[in-house]
Amino acid sequence: MLIFKTNNELNDWRQQLLSKNNTLGFVPTMGALHQGHISLVEKSLSENHYTIVSIYVNPKQFNDVNDLNKYPKTIEEDIAKLKKIGCQALYIPDNESIYPKDFKTISLNLGGLKTILEGPNRPGHFEGVVQVVYQLFKLVIPNKVYLGLKDYQQCKVIELMRDTYFKSIELDFCPTYREDSGLAMSSRNMRLSEQGKMKAASIYKTLKALSALRDNIAVNNALDYGKHLLKSKGIEAEYVALVNAKTFKLSNKWLSKNNNVILIACYVENIRLIDNIQF
Ligand code: AMP
């Protein structure tokens, strides 16, 4: 596996692929790779001539400096995992490569994506995501990018950024990979105790229980019941909300099949976890 630490090395390799008309799949990550990340890389490997993964913990998207400092780093294990599955390239930029001195902030009107759920609860987060993803797309020039639906609102933000600046790049939103318990895999799970992981499995159980209530009780009662279920397991919910999958607008009415998305953000052992279900 080729490992690029500078933009020049990456660019030379990219130009070679372009000249041979080879397709490039891209999986942007912040490292501490788990099977969820690996499932995206495997999909890319099966669909493209080449696949590149990036590992970069983007300081601009952390609204909580403590969360940034505690973000797990397991670079040697990450490299071994990617080599094992035959990934061709890994890009590990430093801050200067992503944000050079002449870096100009990318403007993007996030509209309603900024005003609900992750938007107000993580001020500045999506603006930071837009900056880093823009830079990565510009440097990597991928044909197709693989993103996880676990970060549902982030998928919508990146889709808007793609529609605005990178129309030719294809996006593939991939299903959430879960532990046997149902807990969505996340690098942050590494910071949970075994007991915390068991507790956190209630998040997906709650999502499934709420999805079964569609059309049976009023949406607001269902969402309150979700908060209550979480609380009964000792989990404090930041939000439990229903949005329309097409518009990403909050909804207080059940929607037609596959257009309902319930999203949860909550804290387990002081670690912020998110998950969602579409039905
Ligand atoms: P991160 O390293 O957390 O920034 O995630 C990098 C990419 O992997 C993002 O597109 C995430 O949505 C995706 N991802 C994270 N967790 C999972 C999971 N459990 N299943 C599938 N994709 C995931």
pLDDT tens, residue by residue, 193-209: 999 999 999 999 999 99
pLDDT at 277: 98
What CA–CA distance (Å, rounded) separates 107 from 74?
A: 32
For residue 27, the CA-to-ligand 1 centroid distance in Å is 9
68-95 confidence digits (pLDDT tens): 999 999 999 999 999 999 999 999 999 9
Query: Which has the closest alpha carbon to 247: 117, 113, 123?
Result: 113
Burial 93-119 (b: 16+ CB within 10 A, else e): beeebbbeeeeeebebebeebbebbbb
pLDDT at 102: 95
Tokens encoding 168: 């030719």
For residue 35, the CA-to-ligand 1 centroid distance in Å is 9
Mean pLDDT of all residues in 135-140 = 98
26-50 confidence digits (pLDDT tens): 999 999 999 999 999 999 999 999 9
With H, G, I as helix, E, B as strand and everything else as coil, classify residue 26: strand
pLDDT band per the 50, 70, 90 thresholds, residue 219: very high
> For residue 186, which atom of ligand 1 is closest to its CA?
16
For residue 19, the CA-to-ligand 1 centroid distance in Å is 31
Alpha helices in the chain (DSSP H): 7-19, 35-47, 65-69, 75-84, 95-98, 118-121, 125-140, 152-165, 194-211, 219-232
pLDDT at 153: 98
**Helices and strands (H and E) in the chain: how many:** 10, 9
Q: What is the mean pLDDT of the chain?
A: 97
pLDDT band per the 50, 70, 90 thresholds, residue 161: very high
Ligand 1 mutation target, pool 37, 44, 87, 126, most atoms within 8 A of CB: 37
242-253 confidence digits (pLDDT tens): 999 999 999 999
What CA–CA distance (Å, rounded) separates 84 from 82?
A: 5
Per the CB < 8 A criterion, the answer to whether 184 and 204 are in contact is yes
> For residue 151, which atom of ligand 1 is closest to its CA?
12
Helix (H) or strand (E) holding 4: strand 2-4
Q: For 18, phi and psi rounded to 5 degrees?
A: -60, -40
pLDDT at 189: 96
pLDDT band per the 50, 70, 90 thresholds, residue 149: very high
Q: Model's pTM, two decimal places?
A: 0.97
Per the CB < 8 A criterion, the answer to whether 240 and 264 are in contact is yes
